[in-house]
Amino acid sequence: MKTTEPFSHVEHAHTHNPLLNHPEPPPAAVRKRLFIGAPFNITLLFILSILLVILNQQVLATNSAFPEKYSRKHSQVDRLKWQRTAFHFQPAKNFIYGPLFHMGWYHLFYQHNPYAPVWGNMSWGHSVSKDLINWFELPVALGPSEWYDIEGVLSGSTTVLPNGEIFALYTGNTNNFSQFQCKAVPVNISDPLLVEWVKYDGNPILYTPPGIGLKDYRDPSTVWKGPDGKHRMIMGSKRNKTGLVFVYHTDDFTNYKLLDEPLHSVPNTDMWECVDFYPVSLTNDSALDMAAYGPGIKHVIKESWEGHRKDWYSIGTYDAINDKWTPDNPELDVGIGYRCDYGRFFASKSLYDPLKKRRVTWGYVAESDKHNQDRTRGWATIFNVGRTVVLDRKTGTHLLHWPVEEIESLRYNGQEFNEIELEPGTIIPLDIGTATQLDIVATFVVDQDALNATSETSYEHGCTKSAGAAERGHFGPFGVAVLADEILSELTPVYFYIAKTAEGGVLTHFCTDKLRSSRDFDEERVVYGSTVPVVDGEELTMRILVDHSVVEGFAQGGRTVITSRVYPTKAIYKDAKLYLFNNATHISVKASLKIWQMAPAQVKPYPF
């Protein structure tokens, strides 16, 4: 790895940043010093403060902050071209999202419109990879063709049986959008690419159960064998506003018998789409295949909340004899506890990878700019970089989602910055050259004496209801601003914010501020985030993947994750810069970073 000189050249670049700072009164001790002086100084200071307040208010008013609609420098064509990601999976064009599975090669199946970059003509797109990073696009595996799927081959799953048999279960959308479950098989299982698929001629194999809406019944899971030798399949649905998971038993993988009782249900969580269910180990980081059952194992339910477009998980115990699942903590039940990702990430689906004994999950990361841009760009929505999922054995309450190790093969030109002192209210540029494709690992050491000395409490703080990185607290925000232009008119800060509780404890928030990511339209001009547990003895660490229009942030090894789509108009190409900041009012922070440039991944048609 190539390293730069120590960070001395940046130290004298410390600047006071009006864009990040709120017009808050300085702390009492400082205030005293400011007001000792001649009346002339007081008047001057007063005028300056008024100007600062006006400037800050302009910046904080989200839409009116940017009167100039487009940057003159980069044309719209250039901007849209820049948005295409370099190392996140997306096919050459059109619309993607959906499920995946494995066979020899890693096979990724996804919801795909072969004709336009918008939802419609839903088909199963198909790509294969040897390393989860570089992909070959194959022909569409399954497209609408029959009465039961004429309006779309929707999401589902694939199953590989121990005898090598492979089949897919999917939801067919009829001409009136009723949903039926269907089966398909590869034509030739000795083809490692599984290029051709054929639909079962007895489709549909499953009809909507009584009392369930015809449009509330979809996304059949992978089939697995329970400890009693019976095979199971599950599907998400809802009854009134109660989200639930149906369980089916099968002997032949074509006929499925619905059990009377659901595996689990939670009132007021609406339709559960793309339900995922898998075991996690309490004793090590090795993933388990679906059949794993017994002591030392917990089971995770993940659901994608229709309408909200958010993925929720909960950790609990699976009783395979009665096909019932119970959450460890009812207050952290499915849909009311933790999310897989606090940004834009939906309809995720995981794969047990027997090669590396790990579970990898992908979700689709939709666009958040104007819908008509999709057509101009020619593509829409991407996948996150595949993430391994393990139980966080330190907390026991969280999952850890972390980019697959293969992504590190794209790193080059590594640079290290050690122990940069960030005093309250500073922002410094990090001179790393091009800043559009990056892997950043940052550690922050907080001045504990200052933290302990202050009794101020800000327990009520929350990323999503805050004013983002401009909202100054005693102990935050501090972090990294990515995709920022030189004058900070566009920037996406990814940061920690420490809040002290009335009892003297601390609560750490991990946030991404999209309020000033783009001067252009963004339907989610918001601050994303949540709290992140920090276990005794841990430093505050974050990892950020920057890839043009996507920013993935991981705090504390992936306990809290935030994926954002961003559409800067100025901070693009060589004008995209990186900054380190501490906008807290009362603590200094020492930051150490490793930053790599990221090479593009290859996504190509398979060379038949």
Ligand X SMILES: OC[C@H]1O[C@@](CO)(OC[C@@]2(O[C@H]3O[C@H](CO)[C@@H](O)[C@H](O)[C@H]3O)O[C@H](CO)[C@@H](O)[C@@H]2O)[C@@H](O)[C@@H]1O
CA nearest neighbour of 119 among 135, 97, 101, 95: 95
Q: How far is the CB of 407 from ligand X (least distance, A)?
A: 25
Q: In the complex, which residues of this chain contact ligand X (CB under 6 A)?
A: 111, 119, 122, 152, 154-155, 171, 173, 215, 218-219, 273-274, 304, 306, 346-347
Rounded least distance, CB 174 to ligand X, Å: 11
- The nearer residue to ligand X, 169 or 351, going by C-beta atoms, is 169
Q: How far apart are CA 426 and CA 481, in angstroms?
A: 12
User: Shortest distance, CB of residue 155 to ligand X, whole angstroms?
Assistant: 3
Closer to ligand X at the Cβ: 46 or 177?
Answer: 177
Max alpha carbon distance in the chain (Å)? 91
Residue with Cβ nearer ligand X (139 or 213): 213
Sequence-ordered list of residues with C-beta below 8 angstroms from that of 115, at least 6 positions apart, any chain:
94, 121
Q: How far is the CB of 364 from ligand X (least distance, A)?
A: 7
**Identity of the residue, 306 or 341, whose beta carbon is nearer to ligand X in the bound complex:** 306
Q: What are phi and psi of 346, to 5 degrees?
A: -150, 160
By C-beta, is 306 or 447 nearer to ligand X? 306
Q: Shortest approach of ligand X to residue 152 CB, angstroms?
A: 6
Q: Which of 589, 115, 132, 587 lies closest to 375, judged by CA? A: 115
Is 171 or 265 the residue whose CB approaches ligand X more closely?
Answer: 171
Taking the mean position of all CA atoms in its chain, how far away is CA 372? 24
The residues near 12 (Cβ < 8 Å, ≥ 6 apart) are none
CB distance 560 to 552 below 8 Å: no
> What's the rounded Cα separation, in Å, for the pair 37 and 494?
39
- Name the 3-class secondary structure at 567: coil
CB 399 to ligand X: min, Å: 20
Whole-angstrom Cα distance, residue 232 to residue 434?
50
CB of 236 to ligand X, least distance (A): 8
Question: What's phi and psi for 356, nearest 5 deg?
Answer: -110, 10
Strand runs labelled E in 306-405: 310-319, 324-327, 338-339, 346-353, 358-365, 379-380, 382-383, 387-391, 399-403
* Between 233 and 532, CB nearer to ligand X: 233
**Distance, CA of 287 to chain centre:** 21
Cβ at position 255, least distance to ligand X in Å:
22
Q: Which is nearer to ligand X, 347 or 470 (CB)?
A: 347
Tokens 């409490």 belong to residue: 457
